[in-house]
Amino acid sequence: MAVAEFETALEKATQIDLTATGRVSGRKTSRPVWFVQQGDMLYLLPVSGSGSQWYKNLVTTPAISLAADRATCNATARPVTDKRTVGQVLGKFSAKYGASQVAEYYPDQDVAVEIALR
């Protein structure tokens, strides 16, 4: 589907499905993740920070696919390790999902992921 259809689906979504390629197995695996959108950029936070398996997979193979409702989008993930930028993403997550939820579900806050939709 076109990126525009995916962006439209994002308007109603609270989470998206992320499909990444396993760095060891080479198998594609999917999982639901929370996200924030700012313009043409999506931001994700791995629950276990840089220790999250899906984050480690993205570092090795940044080509991913995303799904919201029935709309899909292929993209390239970019790891974000800059503390200032990670802090900004955390602030956006807190505004969208609530600070207490973010603190509870994201105890390791050392990295984020940036995805350009266009």
Which amino acid is present at 105?
A: Y
Q: What is the pLDDT of residues 77-101, one digit of tens each?
A: 999 999 999 999 999 999 999 999 9
Give me the domains of the chain, ranges plus CATH numbers: 3-116 (2.30.110.10)
Q: What is the pLDDT of residues 49-69, one digit of tens each?
A: 999 999 999 999 999 999 999
Is the pLDDT reported for residue 2 higher than 90? no
pLDDT band at residue 3, thresholds of 50, 70 and 90? confident
Spatial separation of the C-alpha atoms in residues 31 and 13, rounded to whole Å: 15
Is the pLDDT reported for residue 32 higher than 70? yes
Residues 6+ apart with CB under 8 A from 69: 9, 12, 13
Spatial separation of the C-alpha atoms in residues 118 and 116, rounded to whole Å: 6
